[in-house]
Amino acid sequence: MRCKNCGVENEDDAEYCRYCSCGLNESSSSDSTRDKMQNQFKKMYYIYFTAITFLIVPFFIPIIYNYFFHTPLNPIVVMLNLILLITGSLFTIYFYILFYKKKDELRGQEPYYSQITNIAILLFLLMITILVNYVTGY
């Protein structure tokens, strides 16, 4: 095993470098923790984009349908919009549950925590705005 501090080759089962006495296994555990945090952040990011997509797409479907067919909305299209809005809302709820479960772990990683916090606020505001607009018809 090579020391990350000085580059000296050590025995595979050594815990400390024989040259500089630096810990050999500490960096691998911090790397695995960092990788784990990045994977959790990516998962939350994918859920966020899925929720955004399912909340925004229902507004474009009626516009596209009307542009191509020049007729009132088909009830099937209305149901598709409703299903997409419900699915987007469920993804938003899942995002918030995951966010609050991982909040303490993310808090130690300041860049991740601040990004996820901003994303959570924007997603909540988007969901409320879209649902209010959809219900009122504006």
Q: What pTM was estimated for this model as a whole?
A: 0.56
Residue type, 37: M
Q: What is the CB neighbour count within 10 angstroms for residue 63?
A: 9
Note down pLDDT in tens along the chain; length 138 residues: 778 777 788 777 777 787 787 777 654 555 666 677 778 778 888 888 888 888 788 878 888 888 888 887 788 888 888 888 888 888 888 887 877 777 766 666 666 667 777 777 878 887 777 777 767 665
> Among candidates 89, 6, 23, which has minimal Cα distance to 51?
89
Nearest Cα to 51, choosing from 90, 102, 96? 90
